[in-house]
Amino acid sequence: MKCAAAAIFIALSSVLRDAAAFVVPTPLSLPSRQLSLPSPLPPSPSPSPSRNLLTMKAHPNFRKGNTQRLGRAADQRKALLRSLTTACLKYGSIRTTEAKAKQAARHVDKMIGLAKRGDLHAFRQALGWLYDKDLTFRVFEAAPARYAERRCGYTRVKLIQKQRKGDNARMAILELV
């Protein structure tokens, strides 16, 4: 009898305790013209700041906007840089705007680096970027001997003091060293 009464008591107390948990609290009465501000977010339980989404920062290598768009869509920009790279390797120097010259210099240096490497994969990468197949063969023949002692910096961007007549753009000459 005592066990049955104890079991009923335990069951009733757990039901009452659970029922008390579901009671909706009554709202606080606020004086007029006083707004309730939300409480600030609790601090992050993890010690590392990378887990906290509010303090997460972008890694410096993944920042947006680290290349110039040159006022073109991505496919047009790629075609422009490919043609500037091909022209610079073909003629030795080209005259263009300063921004285009600085962007094209990166790709010309990359093509000469591929030519110095000289393996089949590098050759196929250069074929995929340059527009002239014969030029690719000539670059892969001449570049390793011409730039044997130079590790990087195969191009030079010289600024021209005279701006372009139509839009007053700063001009530069991109040339092979």
Domains identified in the chain and CATH numbers:
74-176 (3.90.1030.10)
The pLDDT of residue 13: 67
* Chain segment 19-76, per-residue pLDDT in tens: 555 555 555 555 556 555 566 666 656 555 555 555 666 666 666 666 789 999 999 9
The pLDDT of residue 131: 98
CA separation for the pair 129, 123 (Å, rounded)? 10
CA separation for the pair 148, 125 (Å, rounded)? 21
Section 166-170 average pLDDT: 96
Lowest mean pLDDT across 6-20, 45-59, 159-173: 45-59
* Chain segment 122-152, per-residue pLDDT in tens: 999 999 999 999 999 999 999 999 999 999 9
Helices (H), the chain: 2-21, 74-91, 98-117, 120-129, 133-146
Contact between residue 99 and residue 70 where contact means Cβ atoms under 8 Å apart: yes
The pLDDT of residue 67: 76
Is residue 163 over pLDDT 70?
A: yes
Nearest one of 68, 63, 100 to 85, comparing CA atoms:
100
* Chain segment 72-113, per-residue pLDDT in tens: 999 999 999 999 999 999 999 999 999 999 999 999 999 999
More confident residue, 18 or 98: 98
